[in-house]
A and B are shown apart, each in its own frame.
Chain A
Amino acid sequence: MTDTALALDRLRGGAPPRNHDARTIAALTANPGCARRGLMDAAGVDKDAVARALGFPAQFGQSQFAITRGNAFEAQVKADGCAELLTLLRDRLGLRLPEVAYDDLEVVGGNEGRELRYTRTRRLLARALESGEGTLFDHPLLRLDIAGQPAYLEPDVIAFQLEGRFHVIEIKSFAVIDGQAEPDQVAAAARQSAVYVLALRRLLAELGAPADRVSHEVFLVCPENFSNRPTASLLDVRPQLAVLERQLARLTRVDRILEELPDDLTFAPGDALPEAVRAVAARYAPECMATCEMAFFCRDEARACGSTGALGRSVRDDLGGVDSIGTALGLANGTIEPSPDLVETAEQLRTAARLRREALDGAA
Chain B
Amino acid sequence: MPTSPDALTPDALEERIAELRAAVRRAMAAGDRVRARALRAELRGAERAWDEAVLGDGGDPADERPWAGGGAERGLLPVRDQVHQALTLLGVPAAPKLIGSVYAAFFPGEIPGARLTSLRRDEERSFRTAPYARPYYLCAGLTADLLAAARGLVTVSTWPLEQRIVGPLSPRTDFLTAAMRVAEHAGRGDAASSPQVRRLLWRFATNIPGATDAPATGVVGVVDPAVLAEAARAELDIHQAADRDQRRQAAERARAQLDEAELLFGTRLRAMRTAASAAGGVPSGAPAPAVPRRRRAAATASRKSTASRKSTAAASRTKTPRRRSSAPATGGEAAPRTSRRTSDPAPPRRRPDGASNGDDR
Contacts and interface: CB of A to CB of B under 8 A. Distances in A.
Interface in A109-128: 109-111, 113, 115-116, 119-120, 123
Contact of B171 (A80, A106, A113): A80
Contacts of B168: 101-103, 133-134
Given A103-B168, A115-B298, A83 B146 contact: no
Nearest to A112: B303
Contacts of B239: 98, 100
B172 A100 contact: yes
Contacts of A211: none
Given A86-B172, A100-B169, A116-B290, A109 B206 contact: no
Interface residues of B, number: 40
A134 B151 CA distance: 19
Given A80-B95, A80-B171, A97 B209 contact: yes
A246 B183 CA distance: 55
Contact of B238 (A97, A101, A119): A97
B207 A84 contact: yes
Contacts of B219: none
Interface in B135-168: 143, 146-151, 168
A187 interface: no
A30 interface: no
B174 interface: yes
Contact of A111 (B150, B207, B292, B303): B303
A79 interface: yes
Nearest to A16: B306
Interface residues of A, number: 30
B146 A108 contact: yes
Contacts of A269: none
A110 B209 CA distance: 34
B268 interface: yes
B148 A110 contact: yes
Nearest to B206: A87
B98 to A, nearest CB: 7
A81 interface: yes
B38 interface: no
Interface in A63-82: 79-82
Nearest to A229: B206
Given A80-B207, A109-B146, A109-B270, A97 B295 contact: no
Contacts of A5: none
B95 A79 contact: yes
Nearest to A134: B168
Interface string B198-236: 000000001101000000000000000000000000010
B65 interface: no
Interface string A84-107: 101100100000011011111011
A81 to B, nearest CB: 3
A86 B207 contact: yes
B206 A116 contact: no
Given A83-B207, A100-B169, A116-B290, A109 B271 contact: yes
A278 to B, nearest CB: 33
A109 B150 CA distance: 8
A109 B172 CA distance: 21
A84 B148 CA distance: 26
A352 to B, nearest CB: 59
A83 B178 CA distance: 12
Given A110-B270, A111-B303, A119 B295 contact: yes
Given A86-B172, A102-B172, A113 B207 contact: no
B97 interface: yes
Contacts of A98: 238-239
A79 B97 CA distance: 9
Contact of A109 (B148, B175, B295): B148
Nearest to A106: B151
Tell me which of B147, B171, B269 has the highest count of chain A C-beta atoms within 10 A of its own C-beta: B171
A109 B302 CA distance: 15
Contacts of A80: 95, 98, 171, 175, 178, 207
A83 B295 contact: no
B291 A119 contact: yes
A87 B207 contact: yes
A123 B296 CA distance: 14
Contacts of A83: 172, 175, 207
B171 to A, nearest CB: 3
6 contacts: A100-B169, A108-B148, A109-B270, A113-B302, A115-B295, A115-B298
Given A82-B172, A102-B172, A119-B292, 8 more contacts: A104-B151, A108-B148, A109-B143, A110-B148, A110-B270, A116-B271, A116-B299, A134-B168
